[in-house]
Chains A and B, each alone.
Chain A
Amino acid sequence: KQEVTQIPAALSVPEGENLVLNCSFTDSAIYNLQWFRQDPGKGLTSLLLIQSSQREQTSGRLNASLDKSSGRSTLYIAASQPGDSATYLCAVRHYEAGNQFYFGTGTSLTVIP
């Protein structure tokens, strides 16, 4: 069974700092990996999707990388802002029958003004 882990569970940084969030998964047989943002009491918003054949994706101040062989992905946020405060989740879509999605438990980010 695929297991997805996100470390740290919580992170607090001063505004303007660059930061990295980590995601690891146990089975490399994935179609893709997706990073989401979740604000309190809200649904999830997709930030970046990386196909299994890709190494990274960029969107504005966000850069996500994928090392499928080692079962790792990172989300890099440049020049953090208070508006970046949210929970960030990663999810992998697995090859197994049913192509299920597996989510990590998330990293709660607080950017201090």
Chain B
Amino acid sequence: NAGVTQTPKFRVLKTGQSMTLLCAQDMNHEYMYWYRQDPGMGLRLIHYSVGEGTTAKGEVPDGYNVSRLKKQNFLLGLESAAPSQTSVYFCASSYSIPGLVIETQYFGPGTRLLVL
């Protein structure tokens, strides 16, 4: 199993450009998440999904959109990139046993985004 993979690994954008980050998992997990990690801020949840076709806002959703058209993929879009979106983006997935809340998050290797 590849686990959680992210594409691309690194990207440089100019202010106003758009791009899509792709997250894929092969563990058949229901839940998927997008985080950003900034120095001194820890990881903050951007958006998440509890299943195919569903998405929800996290702590810092502004400026981002997401889609979960297939269970194994979770896309994060930046419509008009801003320097404040320079960060490292992590995708994660997890499972839950019905009737119990038992889940471990599995993380991808991250995407480093620089917005000039």
A residues whose Cβ falls under 8 Å from a Cβ of B: 4, 31-32, 34, 36, 41-46, 49, 51, 89, 91, 93, 98, 100-106
Contact = CB atoms under 8 A, between A and B. Distances in A.
Contacts of A91: 43, 105
A34 B42 contact: no
Given A43-B110, A100-B59, A101-B33, A51 B102 contact: yes
Interface residues of B, number: 26
Given A98-B58, A100-B59, A106 B108 contact: no
B98 interface: no
Contact of A46 (B40, B101, B105, B109): B105
Tell me the dominant secondary structure on chain A's binding face: strand
Q: Which of A31, A44, A89 has the most CB of B within 10 A?
A: A44
9 contacts: A43-B90, A45-B107, A51-B101, A89-B42, A98-B48, A98-B56, A102-B59, A103-B43, A105-B40
Contacts of B57: 98
B50 to A, nearest CB: 9
A43 B101 contact: no
B35 to A, nearest CB: 8
Interface of B: 4, 33, 35, 40-45, 48, 56-59, 90, 92, 101-110
Contacts of A102: 45, 59
Nearest to B104: A46
Given A32-B101, A98-B58, A100-B59, A42 B109 contact: yes
A91 B108 CA distance: 16
Contacts of B108: 43
A25 to B, nearest CB: 12
Q: Which of B57, B58, B104, B109 has the most CB of A within 10 A?
A: B104
Given A43-B108, A89-B43, A98-B57, 18 more contacts: A32-B101, A34-B105, A42-B110, A43-B4, A44-B92, A44-B107, A45-B107, A46-B104, A49-B104, A51-B101, A91-B43, A91-B105, A98-B56, A100-B48, A101-B33, A101-B45, A102-B45, A105-B40
